[in-house]
């Protein structure tokens, strides 16, 4: 992933991106509304590269939980943010509307 130094001292970044995935549990295609918020550390990701990852996941067989985990792990490992929250909301599944959240914050030793 492309990334650049956080020379401007940006303190928070958030973005939204939708993806269509096939849910193996409900056996139907769903729209997963991804919302990402993070406190960048030394690096800021190239947004085009993040969008490519999301688009590549679109069409895959993923549950809400596995889509959330995959995007979270990608951003956490590639950008090393101070904190990261990935929310995945779906309101067009065969079940009730649901939101899954994964959050992590670096410990003081890691910062």
| Domain range enclosing 86 | 3-104
Residue 90, by phi and psi: left (phi above 0), alpha (psi -120 to 50) or beta?
A: beta
Decide the pairing of beta strands 28-39 and 83-90.
antiparallel
Q: How much is the pLDDT for 111?
A: 60
The answer to the question of residue 109 being in a domain is: no
Q: How much is the pLDDT for 108?
A: 74
Q: Residue 90 maps to which CATH number?
A: 3.30.1130.10
The answer to the question of residue 82 being in a domain is: yes
Q: How much is the pLDDT for 40?
A: 96
Instruction: Please choose, from the candidates 4, 27, 29, 5, the residue with its C-alpha nearest in 3D space to the C-alpha of residue 19.
Output: 29
Q: How much is the pLDDT for 107?
A: 83
Helices and strands in the chain: count of H runs, count of E runs:
2, 6
The answer to the question of residue 111 being in a domain is: no
Give the integer Cα–Cα distance in Å for 42 and 100: 27
The answer to the question of residue 110 being in a domain is: no
The domain total for the chain is 1
Mean pLDDT, 10 residues at a time, over the chain (111 residues)? 93 96 94 97 93 94 96 93 97 95 87 60
The answer to the question of residue 88 being in a domain is: yes
The answer to the question of residue 71 being in a domain is: yes
The answer to the question of residue 46 being in a domain is: yes
Q: How much is the pLDDT for 83?
A: 97
Per-residue b or e along 2-18, where b marks 16 or more CB atoms closer than 10 Å to that residue's CB: ebeebeeeeeebeeebe
The answer to the question of residue 8 being in a domain is: yes
Residues with Cβ within 8 Å of residue 7, at least 6 apart in sequence: none
């Amino acid at each position: 992933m492309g990334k650049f130094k956080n020379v401007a001292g940006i303190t928070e970044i958030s973005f939204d991106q939708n993806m269509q995935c096939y849910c193996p549990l409900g056996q139907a295609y769903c729209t997963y509304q991804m919302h990402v918020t993070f406190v960048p550390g030394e690096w800021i990701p190239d947004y085009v590269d993040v969008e490519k990852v999301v688009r590549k996941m679109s069409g895959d067989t993923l549950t809400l939980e596995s889509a959330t985990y995959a995007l979270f792990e990608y951003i956490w490992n590639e950008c090393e943010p101070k904190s990261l929250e990935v929310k995945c909301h779906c309101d067009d599944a065969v079940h009730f509307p649901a939101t899954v959240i994964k959050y992590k914050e670096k410990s003081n030793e890691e910062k």
